[in-house]
Amino acid sequence: MPDTAIAEAPAKAATGGNILQVRNLEAWYGESHILHGINFDVNAGEVVTLLGRNGAGKTTTLKSIMGIIGKRTGSVKFNNQEIIRATSDKIARSGIAFCPEERGIFSSLDVRENLMLPPVVREGGLPLEQIFELFPNLKERLNSQGTKLSGGEQQMLAIARILRTGASFLMLDEPTEGLAPVIIQQIGHTIARLKKEGFTILLVEQNFRFASTVADRYYVVEHGKIIDGFSNAELAANMDKLHTYLGV
């Protein structure tokens, strides 16, 4: 199935208007050509998950959308504005927030400073009381050094700090990686709650079981291309294919 057709078909399950449109996205790390023409859409209010094996290009896709990858071509439209040539600070200020795979907690900052670090880019961000309601552990550890938190708490902090900013489109890169099942469950509840609050979420996950509890739609990435896509309703019918794609 051609890429563009994949991008269009699952979008029918949309819950709102098109918010992100990625077309023919290519990206390079130095001389290495990583993305070979990625196409997909995300609609407002959805949770869309990029699935794929290690090294397939999922994280690079997020980084390319965020403007972190130096060399990239194609088209990325956010709210109908072309952002492929924008710098990452301008992309962030347009309302996209990114939570990296390695969490990016700053060791020279305490939890409070880490939490307050990203500037508010627009109105509508969650107030601190609501953030502490979602992540009560953080409130108790505000004065601790950011990197002294447990892995789960660091992940919560990494998500919490982008909720303040007013960004409505969140990109979460493997938020469950290396976490205990009970924490994964808590992060799942948080994502479901954020969806209810109206956030649109683009998720990168290798943990398919976790993704299936929160996602509306899935795209499968392989060798820097989207090779398949389906909605949550079509999941059961696609399980065999999915196992093959993910090698599980």
Partner 1 sequence: MRATFKGTPKGSGAGSMQALYAQLLVGLINGSFYALLSLGLAVIFGMLNIINFAHGALYMMGAFVAYFLLNLGGINYWWALLFAPIIVGIFGMILERTMLQWLTGLDHLYGLLLTFGIALIVQGVFQNYFGSSGLPYAIPDQLKGGMNLGFMFLPIYRGWVVVFSLVVCLATWFLIEKTQLGAYLRAATENPTLVRAFGINVPRMITLTYGLGVGLAALAGVLSAPINQVRPLMGADLIIVVFAVVVIGGMGSIMGSIITGFALGVIEGLTKYFYPEASNTVVFVLMVLVLLVKPTGLTGRAA
State the residues that interact with partner 1 by CB under 8 A: 66-68, 87-89, 91-93, 97-98, 100, 104, 106-109, 113, 116-119, 121, 162, 165
DSSP character at residue 175: T
Tell me how far, at minimum, the Cβ of 1 lies from partner 1, in Å.
33
Shortest distance, position 196 Cβ to partner 1, whole Å: 25
Amino acid 38 reads I
Residue nearer to partner 1 on the CB measure, 71 or 223: 71
**Shortest spacing between CB 168 and partner 1, in angstroms:** 14
The residue (of 117 and 128) whose beta carbon lies closer to partner 1 is 117
Distances (CA, A) of 97 to 35, 52, 54, 147, 241: 21, 22, 23, 21, 32
Nearer to partner 1, 44 or 117 (CB): 117
Kindly state the smallest distance separating residue 227's Cβ from partner 1, in Å: 28
Distances from the Cα of 38 to the Cα of 71, 195, 228, angstroms: 15, 25, 11
Least spacing, CB of residue 47 vs partner 1, in Å: 21
> Quick check: helix, strand or coil at residue 1?
coil
Enter the tokens of residue 72: 């990239």
Beta strands 169-173; 96-99: pairing state: parallel
Asked if residues 160 and 105 have their Cβ atoms less than 8 Å apart, the reply is no
Q: Which is nearer to partner 1, 66 or 184 (CB)?
A: 66
Q: Between residues 165 and 190, which has the closer beta carbon with respect to partner 1?
A: 165
CA distance 98 to 205: 14
